[in-house]
Structure 1
Amino acid sequence: MFAPFRRQTPRRALWVALAGTSLLALPATAYAADAPAEAEAEQAQPSGGHDIVITARRREENIQNVPIAVSVVSAATLDAQGTYNISRLTQLTPTLQFYSQNPRNTFVNIRGIGAPFGLTNDGFEQGVGVYIDDVYYNRIASATLDFVDVERIETLRGPQGTLYGKNTTAGAINITTRAPSFDFEGKAEVTLGNLNFKQGKASVSGPLSDTLAARISVTTTDRRGTLYNTTTSSYIQSQDSVGVRGSLLWKPSEDLRVTLSGDWALQDPNCCAFAYGSYGPTQRAANRQYPALVSYFPGYTVPSTNPYDRVTDADAALAARNEIGGLSARAVWDVSDSNTITSISAWRFWDWSPANDRDYTGLPIYTKVNNPTKQNQYSQEFRFNHEGNGFDFVAGLFGFYQEIRTSGIQQTGTAASKWLLAPTSALSNNPAVLNNVVAINDIRLDNTSLAAYAKVNWELTDRFTVSPGIRVNYDKKKGLYDSVVTGTASDGTRQIVSPVPGSPYYNDAWIAAQRGVQASQFFEPSFSAWNLSYDVNLRYQATRDINFYATYARSFKTGGINLNGVPADNNGAPIQAAATIKPEKVNHFEVGIKTQFWDRRATFNLTGFWTDIRDFQANVSNGQFGTVRGYLANAEKVRTRGIETDFSIRPTERFNAYVSGAYTDAKYVSFCDAPPPPELSGGNTLPATGACTYSGTVSAPGTPGGNSPPFVDASGQVLPGVSKWAFSWGGEANVPGKLFGEDGQFYLGYDASFRSDWSSNPTPSIYTNVNGYLIHNFRTGFRTGRFDVFAWVRNAFDRNYIDLLLAGTGGNTGLIAAQTGDPRTWGGTVKFSF
């Protein structure tokens, strides 16, 4: 009973500290009448009218001179638009897609590729790398924390690997936090809004001696949930996070800088569940589809069939505790004027403690589907940078080790027999048959990656630069999957639910019924391979403000192993051929132009790209092995191509505007054994006759009791999770004025983002296509060089939209579960700096 008190104590203490810091800042702002407001105003604007310096290529460069597709968002823009995590970053970066059922089940894609959609598996790599201060975060779940004292975020699009520690095929998100300062400085920020939204941030930095400086930053976010649970009479999908980051900068000389950093963050919301989305008929027998199944439970009704009522009746315990932290040491030694050695050492941990209701109903079908996970990762990177006359290069070594341990449980309840067994079976009327069928899962991964890479920039002429790069990579994965399923036999004893013919109680009617739901399985997959990747960038500077560039990259995503179970053969043994996943092989082409004009008050950039991927790692069904079970395997070929554009303008200091857009055409080129969509699943499964062939005729979609294919040919269909069209735009106007005796600016800002419809299922389905939507945000306030006070409203016109659609409870009952986007939110923010 003391858990809520313990959980709130750090937060209350943090809020007291934030309030105290804000009060301490007040006297400083009271005497700031002569402080110029232009510096803060300049920082707060989107790109345009001034140079933006980035470090995407491991050295400081003007973004307009970098021959790759990259976007950058400053800390001021993040704060002004309320972007405090990667999820909200998608409204500023059209080609970035982020979808999350909870921190563990999170997918981040760029240009439609990055992670297999719809299935969680620790045995594969991310296609989008996330770096914070040069430290690689291997799992997206460990990077869902709120931003703490961020200086800028760079999103690189396209394969990365000849400049970055870990090879990635889709791109990288490079986050840079503020470094310790030898000048005393600080800031504090408090935000209040509807839905009981409370957010506080504070940061203080300054010298401890002539050679040592420190910075400490804290953040906390708390918000009432947006989904009401009628079972518990409480709101869920809340936000509840706290984070602390500290760093020490030791600078014994101008040539050596050593930064020690540590961070800790905790997310502990009341989360996560889905609302009823819709019903779509499948091929399952009519008496086993959602309307009939619900009728077997007199008195049960779904609380609402409109997902925008934002109600659910989840009856299982819910939790989404996500604890993240680590330590790093970054040393930069300028050996000479032209040579620099950098070392980055890091340890990180991730502790995930979930509780889920995975039947998406208020019935006790699955009472537990929880997979708590603990991860430790260690990385070491060495880089050598050389700047010569007409050329420069970077060479590096990267080592990474990751250990993941998952101890999971799945448990059925008293409604499982009626819901999961055919009503023609006498056992379906006996709740005891499937009640308390328990799977205890022991899942382990040891992941090692070693690499050497190099990149050269060679100026052939004053205008033409060639930049080749190369990477040699070795990866080794060793895993274990041990699921022990126990159930109650017809004689009342607890027994192992074994898939092996002839095993004890194999022919027991109750055990046989339980085996149809889940059976024990054990296997130890492993994978190791060397890979070579390379790229070349060409840059031609036509004029001072016009740059053309072209890129070819031959990249890869390392192979993986299945750690969520694999199909079994006729003897119940796991099929070892399905335990490993082949590496992705990527051919990437890109051309672009970067321009500035009107005395650099306007910027226009245009990029075209084409990416082919062979052996694309995807969620598939086991057609070639004669049974149907979702797991990860390789689709033969995928292609994504498109055009991206960015335009910004700042004609005067009083006005700026921007628009970014992307057209993305991402498709399966060849994918013959894709999982059947809901409307073709659940019927009489036709027999597979080969790797991608089967015999018989498939019934029309949504025919109850019809024939279902063991797999479908998805060739030519769209990839999941990507909109064909995406745009973001906005602007800000300001006028000089005076408030509280301070000279500054009154301002009005507007931002919007649009995404067209997209598929929310691994194979496109008529039931899980998410409609496009347009979101408008407004803000208005007054700022000086010392403080900023403003009011804001997001999703100003209260647009109803869907974040995610899922086929629920086995995928073929016809139930579609929905995760709705945020309704209109509004509030106010006060920021002080000193």
Structure 2
Amino acid sequence: MNFRVLLAGGVAPLALASHGVYAAEAPATTTNAAVPAPEDAQTTSVGTGASDSGEIVVTARRRQETAQDVPLAISVVGGEHIDNTGAFNVGRLQQLTPTLQFYSSNPRNTAVNIRGLGAPFGLTNDGIEQGVGIYIDDVYNARVASATFDFLDVKQIEVLRGPQGTLYGKNTTAGAINITTNQPTFDFEGKAEVSFGNLNFVQAKAAVSGPITDTLAARLAVSSTNRRGTIYNVTSNQWIQGQDNLGLRGQLLFKPSDALSITLAGDYNEQDAACCGSVYVRTGTTQRAADRQFAALAAAQGYTVPSTNPYDRLTDLDATLQAGNKIGGVSLKAKWDIGPGTLTSVTAWRFWDWQPQNDRDFTGLPIVTKSQNPSQQDQYTQELRYNYSGDRLDFVLGAFGFYQRIDTQGTEQHGSASTKWNLAPSNALYNSNVLNGLTALNTQYLKNASVAVYGQASWKVTPELTLQPGVRVNYDKKDGFYQRRVFTASGSEILIDGTTSPVKTAQLGIFTPQTISPKFSDWNFSYDFTASYKVAPGILFYATYAKTFKSGGINQNGVPTDAANNPILGAATVKPESVQHYEAGLKTEFWDRRAILNLSAYRTDIKDYQANVNNGQFGVLRGYLANAGAVRSQGVEADFSVRPSERFNVYVNGAYTDATYRKFVDAPCPPELSGGASSPANCDISGQRLPGVSKWSLSFGLEANAPVTFLEQEGQVYFGYDGSYRSNFSSNPTPSIYTWVDGYSLSNFRVGFRTDDGFDIYGWVRNAFDQNYIDQLFVGPGNTGLIAGLPGDPRTWGVTLRKSF
């Protein structure tokens, strides 16, 4: 057990031991009163939000209102449900919200999509925006790597589906994830929990909050997660894909009067696990010559994979693996009630430090011996907004500023197996080992600035009819730099100087020197209009049209070259995405508000969709961005939850998503059509499905409880179940017969005992039926037909002890 677990684990038992000193707060009762103040709002939810308090309070429109009154598709997951289901990061959140997709081969190469849209599938490119905005306490997190960290003292999470460009900005063409943490309180309170499980799983969480003076309150939270990896590396004799996470957050609330509150918050999150690798899944025939297919190449060097069954969870990667990841920052939030409105200022600085090491050949051969691109980011944001609420008119006016600087220093190196792997036996250099020690040093930086002004109004034309227009004007500017310098094993630099030789030609086929300074700037205008009508008490119908965009981008990983190895500068930038969105929905509450049924149907059309184009070679160009002509996502969603009594609740959420390329005539070809001398340069994949999208996805669960007396303690014994299902999906930017992932279903169970004074102990099992499934597949470099992948977590089980006071 390391220092991180000891730190959190030391705090948790101390908090647990104090449960006899402090009485638990009385539970809230169901009421039809107005929306409570933030510190009083009860937001525990299951599925769509059937809660103990009867009302789920959200801030999706930058003001407090109940979820059923908000005219947009929104999934609300409460902090208690997150903890109970083990959803400790956004990756697990997708099992509770079926329209959200999460893919991560490592923290940097992470994508969070909603309805199949958001970020292009494949290697991350810093030169573009994400399409799903991640906000934590009103602070925008530009790096999606933040989604891989543990949820820390979370109160609730709102998943907003569909474009949110008016209030949340250009980076939310697919939706937004709005995370609210628990805030400092002027009444002393705390909570702590410890969990133990198989795979050496140990997790400890603790939070304590209370007054310092009559006007100053503080809250401190800590979380630590440690788990052995799920894949065994027979080369390094270690488990990889483990978890080693530490999270800290501290907050100070200064409230000199009821009208003014100022919150200073700081957080630090660190990951340091042996990560990230892959396993052999299969091979498929490409258009390369027979002696250049994977099986022949491996046999020529006497290589065999440790297992051809991916669920043996064995790998033999020989390069060093590392995924050091640190994210944190400081924010200052001030809220001042002035007359009928509230003025809010949110100032924040965040940093990201990424220290990776990877094995890019996906094998135990020393083909690629180094692949590491450490990055450092600083981002600064400032938002100022005014909220007004009246009898007939509500509105929000605001301004937002953003600046980001990313610096990356990369090293890629080939080893002793590279020459025979990359050169044909007919090449005179086949036995020369000319590629051994070939090294590329990559340097890049990005300066990204954005400013915007926005407004949204809600006009209550009648008590039943509300019209909601919104606008946003945005200016973006990106300045980038990318340089790749190439060196031989002896340290001599390879230059593009007009000279050629067989050795140089072979070396340039692996790494090509390149220097570019891409730039982009543009103004954009977004607007939306929503009409909502209360057909009857508890029944709300709404319709929305939105015209929005995702900012243009620059290629920060290099661009393709011409026949003379000169960069094609026309590919250095990509156009903004132009988005048109149509949606209609119905929100209903019935059975005396014990049941909720929400329906939505939508269609999103995107022109100049920013797609990832992968290159089949090792180091010439790993991947770059290009504009696909058009993309469409359309579908239907249903969210249902019911709580017939305080003893039972159940939820079912489902989505049908049809997300396809409508026009992409110059897409990269799939591996089965690549690698040969006569292979097409590109392929028309118009009409094919977008990667990572299941047509059908479901989440469902229930909890039942009964009153009991146990060890002289009054409480409840309870049983909970949460399940999810998704149909098959493509795991490659261009659909391939080799990269379809079969659909699968997961089941999680928990059973425990809890008391009215906040004590809770329960056992849990996740992936209870030990379902074999694949999270993601990767096409191996070089067009050899190798397909590697990440198997999903096997069955895990454990026990959790929790105390609130």
Verify same fold: TM over 0.5. yes
When residues 533 and 165 of structure 1 are mapped into structure 2, their CA distance, relative to the original with a 3 A threshold, is closer
**Aligned equivalents of 1:45, 1:508: Cα separation in 2:** 66
Alignment correspondent of 1:495: 492
Alignment correspondent of 1:546: 539
- Give the CA deviation at 1:296: 1.3
Selected match of 1:784 from 748, 755, 764: 755
Checking the alignment, whether the CA contact within 8 Å between 1:384 and 1:395 is kept in structure 2 is: yes
* CA displacement 1:772-820 (0-9 Å, x = unmatched): 000011100011232111000000000000000011133x101000100
**Aligned equivalents of 1:776, 1:9: Cα separation in 2:** 33
Q: Which aligned pairs between 1:627-638 and structure 2 lie closer than 5 A? A: 630-638=623-631
- Give the CA deviation at 1:620: 2.8
Report the residue type matching 1:394 in the other structure: V
Q: Which aligned pairs between 1:2-401 and structure 2 lie closer than 5 A? A: 8-25=2-19, 27-28=20-21, 43=44, 45-46=46-47, 47-48=49-50, 50-298=54-302, 300-336=303-339, 338-401=340-403
Report the residue type matching 1:640 in the other structure: S
Runs of at least 4 residues off by over 3 Å: 8-11, 34-46, 627-630
Alignment correspondent of 1:571: 564
* CA displacement 1:436-470 (0-9 Å, x = unmatched): 11100001000001000000000111100000000
**Aligned equivalents of 1:291, 1:143: Cα separation in 2:** 38
Report the residue type matching 2:751 in the other structure: T
**Aligned equivalents of 1:177, 1:628: Cα separation in 2:** 41
Report the residue type matching 1:102 in the other structure: N
When residues 614 and 745 of structure 1 are mapped into structure 2, their CA distance, relative to the original with a 3 A threshold, is same
When residues 585 and 43 of structure 1 are mapped into structure 2, their CA distance, relative to the original with a 3 A threshold, is closer
Checking the alignment, whether the CA contact within 8 Å between 2:714 and 2:755 is kept in structure 1 is: yes
- Give the CA deviation at 1:508: 2.9
Alignment correspondent of 2:460: 459
- Give the CA deviation at 1:120: 1.7
When residues 412 and 287 of structure 1 are mapped into structure 2, their CA distance, relative to the original with a 3 A threshold, is same
**Aligned equivalents of 1:384, 1:369: Cα separation in 2:** 48
Residue 536 (str. 1) matches residue 538 (str. 2): no
Report the residue type matching 1:779 in the other structure: R
**Aligned equivalents of 1:45, 1:795: Cα separation in 2:** 19
**Aligned equivalents of 1:448, 1:42: Cα separation in 2:** 36
Selected match of 2:505 from 485, 492, 512: 512
**Aligned equivalents of 2:300, 2:139: Cα separation in 1:** 53
**Aligned equivalents of 2:28, 2:474: Cα separation in 1:** 50
SS in 2 for 1:18: helix
SS in 1 for 2:298: helix
Aligned-residue Cα RMSD (Å) equals 1.8
Checking the alignment, whether the CA contact within 8 Å between 1:37 and 1:784 is kept in structure 2 is: no
Alignment correspondent of 1:427: 429
Listed as ranges, the gaps of 5+ residues in structure 1 are 685-706
Report the residue type matching 1:436 in the other structure: G
Alignment correspondent of 2:704: 733
**Aligned equivalents of 1:621, 1:186: Cα separation in 2:** 49
Stretch of structure 1 that moved more, 183-192 or 569-578 = 569-578
**Aligned equivalents of 2:257, 2:326: Cα separation in 1:** 37
Checking the alignment, whether the CA contact within 8 Å between 2:512 and 2:565 is kept in structure 1 is: no
Checking the alignment, whether the CA contact within 8 Å between 1:746 and 1:782 is kept in structure 2 is: yes
Alignment correspondent of 2:408: 406
Residue 818 (str. 1) matches residue 789 (str. 2): yes
**Aligned equivalents of 2:84, 2:152: Cα separation in 1:** 15
* CA displacement 1:38-68 (0-9 Å, x = unmatched): 9999946552261111111011111111100
Checking the alignment, whether the CA contact within 8 Å between 1:37 and 1:743 is kept in structure 2 is: no
SS in 2 for 1:428: coil
* CA displacement 1:595-651 (0-9 Å, x = unmatched): 01111111110000000000000023699xxx9974201000000000000011111
Alignment correspondent of 2:736: 765
Report the residue type matching 1:798 in the other structure: D
SS in 1 for 2:165: coil
* CA displacement 1:705-739 (0-9 Å, x = unmatched): xx311000000000001100000001011110112
- Give the CA deviation at 1:292: 0.4
Checking the alignment, whether the CA contact within 8 Å between 2:205 and 2:223 is kept in structure 1 is: yes
Checking the alignment, whether the CA contact within 8 Å between 1:36 and 1:784 is kept in structure 2 is: no
**Aligned equivalents of 1:768, 1:564: Cα separation in 2:** 24
**Aligned equivalents of 1:494, 1:341: Cα separation in 2:** 60
TM-score for the superposition, normalised by structure 1: 0.92
SS in 2 for 1:21: helix
- Quote the sequence identity (%): 58
**Aligned equivalents of 1:41, 1:452: Cα separation in 2:** 33
SS in 2 for 1:427: coil
Alignment correspondent of 1:479: 480
- Give the CA deviation at 1:741: 1.9
When residues 828 and 9 of structure 1 are mapped into structure 2, their CA distance, relative to the original with a 3 A threshold, is closer
**Aligned equivalents of 1:797, 1:38: Cα separation in 2:** 38
**Aligned equivalents of 1:583, 1:37: Cα separation in 2:** 48
**Aligned equivalents of 1:129, 1:731: Cα separation in 2:** 30
Checking the alignment, whether the CA contact within 8 Å between 2:42 and 2:55 is kept in structure 1 is: no
**Aligned equivalents of 2:614, 2:406: Cα separation in 1:** 26
- Give the CA deviation at 1:568: 1.3
When residues 629 and 410 of structure 1 are mapped into structure 2, their CA distance, relative to the original with a 3 A threshold, is closer
**Aligned equivalents of 1:45, 1:578: Cα separation in 2:** 47
Selected match of 2:514 from 503, 517, 521: 521
- Give the CA deviation at 1:142: 3.0
Aligned residue pairs total 788
Residue 654 (str. 1) matches residue 639 (str. 2): no
Checking the alignment, whether the CA contact within 8 Å between 1:359 and 1:809 is kept in structure 2 is: yes
Selected match of 1:724 from 695, 715, 721: 695
Alignment correspondent of 1:584: 577
Stretch of structure 1 that moved more, 782-791 or 356-365 = 782-791
Checking the alignment, whether the CA contact within 8 Å between 2:133 and 2:175 is kept in structure 1 is: yes
Q: Which aligned pairs between 1:618-767 and structure 2 lie closer than 5 A? A: 618-620=611-613, 630-684=623-677, 707-767=678-738
Checking the alignment, whether the CA contact within 8 Å between 1:136 and 1:166 is kept in structure 2 is: no
Report the residue type matching 1:303 in the other structure: P
Selected match of 2:777 from 805, 828, 831: 805
**Aligned equivalents of 1:10, 1:482: Cα separation in 2:** 38
